[in-house]
Structure 1
C-alpha cells in the first residue's frame, strides 16, 4: 500500500510585500553519528524558534486528518514530526501578538527543528501576516481539550487481511494501538509516517476492539469499530483532562467528513458505539503479539520526550 504523501505547497514568507518560498533544508536534523534524522516530538518544555505560514491548497496534510474547523494547525519539520509520532498533539505557540493553540496536522520537509509552519489563520493570531516570519516560543500541551470524542477511520484498501486505521481526537501523544477481532486476542499495530496504524497480516473482518494508550498511560478501548474503509466512525470516548482516568461522553451531533483523499463520505447514520476502560499504566495491558515493524521512537522515549527529558533513542546531540 502506498503511503500518504504531502504534495508541494506554497509557503509564504512575505518580505517587502512579496511571497517567497520558506525554509532551508535542515542539516542540523542529522545525528552526529549515523546521519539519520532525529526523532523527537515536541515536549512540554518551552522552546524558542520561528514561525512561517502556508496554505493547504486542497490537501489533508501528512497526518491524514480532516482540516480542523477552527483552521488552527501546524506542520512540523522531520525532527519534531518524528515520522508521525507527533500527529494529533497540540502546541501552544506564543508570538508578538499573543498565543494560539494549534493541532499537529502536517509535516514540513524543509523545516529545521524549531521552525513551525502554521496555518495562515493561526499565524495571523500571533503575528503580522506581512512579516512572513516571526520569533516564537512553543510547547506541547498536556491533556488539551479536543473538539469531539475519539474517531476512527479505516483506510481505503484495508480488509480482513490488511488492517489500517487512523485515530483522531486522542489529545495526547499516542504510544500504542492494539486491535482485536470479535472474540480474538489483541494484536499490536505500528504507526506509519502518514499517521495510520497498520497490521500487515490483518486483524480479521471485524467488528473490532481498538485499545489505545497515550504516553501518560491513559488507555481507552473503542468497541464496535467496523471494517468500513473511508468512513469516519464516531465514538463516545475521550482521553483528556486527567493523567490516569478516561471519561465517556455523548458523541458530537455534528456530522463528520472524510479526509480529502477519501472517495467516500462519512456515513450520516454513524452512531456512538464505543465502550471505555481506563488504566493508569500502559504496562497493565494484556500481552499482545509483536508488531511487524518497530516504531521509529520507542514508547519509553515518547514518554520522556513529552516530559522534556532526553533519551538515547531520540537524542539530537
Structure 2
C-alpha cells in the first residue's frame, strides 16, 4: 500500500509472531498445569474443583396427555387432507366418513389418544371426529380437522376458526374390535394394532394360547403395541383395557402380519356372536374406523376367566404419558 497503512497481507504478517508467542506461552502454561496436578496427585493432595459447565435453563416438566374425558377445551382449528391414509395412528386408511382430527404433540401424547373421539363445536355447529393423526406444528389447543369435518363447523374459506372440543366418553361403537399384527412380526417380535375401541386405550396384554401368564405390551408413538421379545407363535389371547376401565379378551388371534383380523368382541355395549368379558357395565359407544375386508374372524372367549372378570379401575382422564424428562445436570464436585 502506498499510503503507509498495513494491507491484509501486512496485518497477517504482523499477527503471526504474536500468535506463535501466544501458542508457545499457552503450551508452557498447560504443561505447568499438568505437571502441577500430577505432583499434587502423587503427594495425595486433592486438586481444586473446577467450575461446573454452565447448565441449560431448567425446563418445566410438561405432561403429555390427550384431552381429558368430558373436559371442555377451547382453542382453534385449521384443516388438512390425509389423502385417505390413516395418519400417525397407523390405521390402514382414514375413516369411511372422513371425519378425523390431528392433534398437536402435547395432546397426541405419543399415540395415547389414538382411536378416541372428540366433539368439536365451531361457528356453524358441531361434529364428532376420530383422533387419527398428529399435527407436529400445532401448539396446545390447536387441532387440525379433516376438510370434511371443518366444513361441518365453519366455512372453509375462513381457514382458521375458534372452536371448543371435548373427548367423548363411551362413544357408540360401530362394531367389534379388530387386530392387525404388524408386518415383520414373528414369534420373536410382536406388535399389534387394536382398532374399534371407542375410548382411548390404557393397556394391551397378550398371552400364548389359553394358558400362561399375561405379557404387557408397550404402546409405541405410531400406535402399535409392542412386545420386543415376542409372544410366541400364536394363536394369542389379547386382553384390552381402555381408559374408562372397560376390559375385554379376544382369542384366536393368529400370527398373520399385515392382515386385519376382526373379533366378535365389543369393547363395551354387548357383543356380536358371543359373550364379552367386560369388567364393567358401559354405555353405548363409538364408530371406529373401518378395517380392511376379507380378514379371518377370530374366535371369542365366551366365559370370563378370573383374570378377565377382575374389574379394571376406571380413570377419569385418558392415560397420559409420563412427564417429559429434563436432562440430568452434571454431578457437583465431591459427589
After TM superposition, is the score higher than 0.5?
A: yes
Q: Deviations over 1:161-205 (max 9, x none)?
A: 000000001111211110000133210000000000000000000
Contact 1:207 1:226 in 2 (8 A): yes
Contact 1:151 1:232 in 2 (8 A): yes
* Alpha-carbon distance in structure 1 between the residues aligned to 2:309 and 2:98: 33
Match of 2:149 in 1: 122
Instruction: Give the deviation of 1:236 after TM superposition.
Output: 1.0
Match of 2:85 in 1: 59
Match of 1:187 in 2: 215
Contact 1:217 1:281 in 2 (8 A): yes
Paired residues for 1:1-317 under 5 Å: 34=59, 38-43=63-68, 44-57=70-83, 59-65=85-91, 66-182=93-209, 183-241=211-269, 244-245=280-281, 256-257=291-292, 268=294, 270-275=296-301, 277=304, 279=309, 281-282=311-312, 303-306=315-318, 313=322
- Gaps of at least 5 residues in structure 1 are 1-31, 258-265, 284-299
Contact 1:218 1:280 in 2 (8 A): no
3-state SS of the aligned residue for 1:81? Answer: helix
- Gaps of at least 5 residues in structure 2 are 1-56, 271-278, 325-335
- Closer, same or farther in 2 for the Cα pair 1:153/1:86, shift >3 Å? same
* Alpha-carbon distance in structure 2 between the residues aligned to 1:54 and 1:205: 41
Q: Deviations over 1:134-183 (max 9, x none)?
A: 11110010000122211000000000000000000111121111000013
Q: What is the aligned length?
A: 249
Q: Following TM superposition, where does structure 1 have runs of at least 4 consecutive aligned residues deviating by more than 6 angstroms? A: none
- Closer, same or farther in 2 for the Cα pair 1:304/1:75, shift >3 Å? same
3-state SS of the aligned residue for 2:317? Answer: helix
The structure with the greater share of residues assigned to helix is 2
- Closer, same or farther in 2 for the Cα pair 1:237/1:119, shift >3 Å? same
The structure with the greater share of residues assigned to strand is 1
Contact 1:245 1:279 in 2 (8 A): no
Contact 1:172 1:215 in 2 (8 A): yes
Larger Rg: 2
| TM-score, normalised relative to structure 1 | 0.72
* Alpha-carbon distance in structure 2 between the residues aligned to 1:256 and 1:130: 33
